[in-house]
A and B are shown apart, each in its own frame.
Chain A
């Protein structure tokens, strides 16, 4: 090889080394930026979840008879969703909808919310407005998307006799159908001032009995099956650890 050609090649080799170094630098920088972005995203999601939970807890705290209800129904509903429609659990926003289901209760007077006796018609009407009021309240939280329908529709019934919209069957958003089973079950298995809690067996029997009228029959059946699976023999405890 003639010396000129050799020198030219050597020069090109050195130039390529410098380019390769630049490339390494650029790739490293991109990776760092991506990691930063991912971390910021996770922090944002956590912050959002914290805010949602705070809002949900503020509604729960108004209602003196529902201590622990929020976390139990949240865990029930997530577990049942994973079973009935696993694809829906990809998005964290659905869980936000479950947490916020009763957020409308912040707008219901304490005198009605915690009244020891039965509600009269006017009081009942105000009480029954909480799904719609909650739905309106969270409207500005665009990130919730369809999950807001859990708030609106968790008192609808499969047979169309629920509220606020009187929707029936599959017109009702599936997670709302899921949630209403969990919500009812938790209410039945918790002591209330006017009655003692039902046993898990009796409550599951009630869920089964109202499948096809109050509840989506498929969802109700899956809920009963889920509870049977999660319950150790002869105990009154359900394990709903995530």
Chain B
């Protein structure tokens, strides 16, 4: 394994960002954070991560919108994305998948489970 695998986490709740960053750090991921969708898109454009973890419900651009926008772009169409949401209904899940997410994790979520998901997404990445 060469450089550290980079993960971008986007959530409007700084506590969630802190905790997830701490846990991912322990697993030697290189973590970048953003508190809103617009900032996240700028960061992706500047330096695309290997995986993106995206909260659905955020003020301003929602996670679904960010996801859809990335999927419609040429260069980030295949960026692995995990959606985080407080709601967990079939409808939400379908909306997430429609927006092009690779995985849909409902809150409260386990950071350890998130790590497993990220590892899995990275291992199938072409």
Contact = CB atoms under 8 A, between A and B. Distances in A.
B107 interface: yes
Interface stretch (B35-43, B46-54, B68-76, B108-116): B108-116
Contacts of A14: 107-108
Contact of B111 (A11, A12, A17, A22): A22
A11 B85 CA distance: 11
Interface in A112-155: none
A21 B110 contact: yes
B16 A15 contact: yes
Interface string A7-28: 0000110111111011001100
The secondary-structure label for the interface of chain B is helix
B15 A18 contact: no
Contacts of B122: none
Interface residues of B, number: 11
Contacts of A18: 108-110
A40 B19 CA distance: 33
B110 A12 contact: no
B111 A15 contact: no
Nearest to A25: B112
Nearest to A18: B108
B119 to A, nearest CB: 15
B95 interface: no
B86 interface: yes
B23 interface: yes
Nearest to A21: B110
Nearest to B109: A18
Interface of A: 11-12, 14-19, 21-22, 25-26
